[in-house]
Structure 1
Amino acid sequence: MRAAVYYGPNKIEIDDVAEPQATPGTVKLKVGFNGICGTDLHEYYAGPIFVPTAPHPLTHQQLPLTIGHEFSGTITAVGDGVTGWAVGDRVAVEPIYKCDHCAPCLAGNYNVCQQIGFHGLMSDGGMAEYTVVPTSMLHKLPDNVSLELGALVEPMSVAYHAATLGDVRPGDTAMVFGAGPIGIGLWFALRGKGLDDVFVVEPSPTRRAAIEALGAATLDPAALDVPGFIAEHTAGDGADAVFDAAGVTPAVATALACVGSRKPMVSVAIYEKPLETPLLNLVMNESRIQGSLCYTGADFEAVIALMAKGAYDTTGWVTTIPIDDVIDEGFEALHAGTKMKVLVDPNGES
């Protein structure tokens, strides 16, 4: 079968590899779609970062391996001992490998497992015609949720988890910094949680236009005093939660200037450079910075339920490509900013 195999920086090849077979406790999936993630871009241009160069303690796999951790598929075979799943079931995959015995795992917070692994980063993943995953990773898709949306459940769950950590409720004012895929996911999640008063701060006209077309209210930090606007909008109280999905110092500084007293800035970005973060506003307001990593199964189920209600729209920001175009129309286009979100169709069925 064909698969996108990662060999190291600037080297992903579409190879013919052996088709995997279901083993006890696992299912074999015919992959529907696999999204290219920002983490994949980091691996391609600057890795290996998370891809192991020695056997991973949970997966026992290492470089080179098939990438892809944002994917959906249809079960084509079940391994021995598998119950509750059948050939033909359509699923989204929660790609976390966890140890089940460290303190975070025992507390139910396996998204910060001390040995965490990801299918498609620490093992052969979903950017291939077929892949095999343990049943613990499976989430069934309702009939009215497409495989395209199913491949977006993983990144949208990253955003939903962050939105939940913001402890927001209907009637609150929230702000999202950055209108990339996670920023868009945050907007969908906050709307799904009943918030009407959500502002997306984004300097790129292209990204502002994309999220405005979905119905979002945007602010251009190059043309507006954003903290002043929010202070006036909230009668001086500040935002009830701000979310950084941009990962750059100007966004963080502005976010901290907008957040209200004892309210959080939730960080769900990857920071490539050290931040010079002004902390005076945190001290004076007793506000806080809250980190957010990945998701749990509850986030997956919440996103799938919202998708079934029609709460997510891919118009204008999601592009589908065949696996043969994964470099030029996938990685290079995303890196250049000419595309926002790319789903790879490894079986040519879109």
Structure 2
Amino acid sequence: MRAARYHARGDVRIEDVPTPDLRPGTVAIDVAWCGICGTDLHEFLEGPIFIPPPGSPHPVSGEEAPIVMGHEFSGTISAVGEGVDDLSVGDAVVVEPYIIRDDVDTSPGQPYQLSPDMNFIGLGGHGGGLSERVVVQRRWVHPVGDVPLDQAALIEPLSVGHHAFMRSGASAGDVALVGGAGPIGLLLSALLTAQGLTVIITEVSAARKAKAVETKVAEHVLDPTEGNVADRVRELTGGRGADVCFECTSVNAVLDTLIDAVRPGGVIVNVSIWGHPATLDMVKLVLKEIDLRGTIAYAGDHPATIELVRSGKVDLAPFITARIPLEDLVPQGFETLIHHNDTQVKILVHP
């Protein structure tokens, strides 16, 4: 079968690889759509980060580069392994793309995303969504019912937003400032709006500002090149500041803005993956008693996220801005998002 494999920084190739075998307790999925994630771009530009380099195989998957990529994907079940009796061939599904040791408890409420040696399908091994077929453990497969498969490919990044929201402790009526209107920022804003928060976005890209306005995921979209965002946030909140902020850019200037804009005693959640160290104004952090929280991926968030989409509270269709075949992954996918990221929000790949 055809698959996109990461060999080294700047070296992703479309190659023929063996079709994975069905095993007891697993599900085979014919991939319909796979999104290109910011993490994929970090790997392409700065990696390997999550991808295990040659000579250092991942302790759970046993794999090392070259690795099949893709972790934001949807598809249709083509076969179920022995012991799987609650899913059927033809079911539309998404995958919670974890690589975790078999003995880790993944029951509701467990922080399995923090377990030792955690990694992701499509980054640490076990195949990936940028291929024709993938075989995964049953516990990572989530039926999506009648959600269109192209939109279903965005449930994984939306689950990232859901987990960040849960980590924040925010609730309906709070004011949230989202730093960055890229795919995660926009999807997170849509989720926050659905949860009853007042959302403000800060973004410089004209196209992404327009998408935020078009999709009505925020009540206010602010451009830091046109004025002081923190001052404007205080104006909009009666001098108080934002209750909660979400950093979705891995850009230090955005983090600085959030520290300035959050109210005393407020919460900042870092959602983005940083490929470089950040600096932090510790004096402001201390004097304002800011609570700075990290968040990684999701843990038990997929069912609630899927229900938000199925119920119509979050509409994913407007965030899909391009669809390309696997062969065009690098020139029309990676290169576009790296050099012309203001022209796209989410590019989907059809393997």
Smaller-chain TM-score range? Answer: over 0.9
Separation (CA, whole Å) in 1 of partners of 2:106 and 2:27: 27
From 75, 81, 84, the counterpart of 1:82? 84
Separation (CA, whole Å) in 1 of partners of 2:157 and 2:168: 17
Structure 2 unaligned spans of 5+: none
Deviates more, 1:176-185 or 1:229-238: 229-238
Conserved? CA contact 1:326–1:344, under 8 Å: yes
What letter matches 1:252 in structure 2? Answer: L
Q: Are 1:281 and 2:284 matched, yes or no?
A: yes
Separation (CA, whole Å) in 1 of partners of 2:108 and 2:206: 45
Conserved? CA contact 1:6–1:13, under 8 Å: yes
From 269, 273, 294, the counterpart of 1:270? 273
Q: Are 1:171 and 2:182 matched, yes or no?
A: no
SS of 2:154 mapped into structure 1? helix
SS of 2:329 mapped into structure 1? helix
Conserved? CA contact 2:240–2:263, under 8 Å: yes
Matches for 1:1-350 after TM superposition, within 5 Å: 1-53=1-53, 54-99=56-101, 108-123=110-125, 124-143=127-146, 145-195=147-197, 197-215=198-216, 216=218, 217-297=220-300, 299-310=301-312, 311-315=314-318, 317-336=320-339, 337=341, 338-346=343-351
Conserved? CA contact 1:70–1:151, under 8 Å: yes
Identity percentage over the alignment? 39
What letter matches 2:87 in structure 1? Answer: W
Task: Using structure 1 for the length normalisation, give the TM-score.
Answer: 0.93
What's the CA shift for 1:231?
A: 1.6
Query: How many residues in Structure 1 have an aligned counterpart in Structure 2?
Result: 343
Q: What whole-Å deviation, never above 9, does each CA across 1:163-207 have from its counterpart, x for those lacking one?
A: 121211221111100000110111011012112x21000011121
Conserved? CA contact 1:105–1:112, under 8 Å: no
Separation (CA, whole Å) in 1 of partners of 2:336 and 2:153: 19
SS of 1:262 mapped into structure 2? strand
Conserved? CA contact 2:34–2:73, under 8 Å: yes
SS of 2:265 mapped into structure 1? coil
Separation (CA, whole Å) in 2 of partners of 1:183 and 1:71: 19
What's the CA shift for 1:100?
A: 6.0
Separation (CA, whole Å) in 1 of partners of 2:321 and 2:104: 37
Structure 1 unaligned spans of 5+: none
RMSD: 1.9
What letter matches 1:62 in structure 2? Answer: E
Separation (CA, whole Å) in 2 of partners of 1:104 and 1:129: 27
Separation (CA, whole Å) in 2 of partners of 1:279 and 1:174: 22
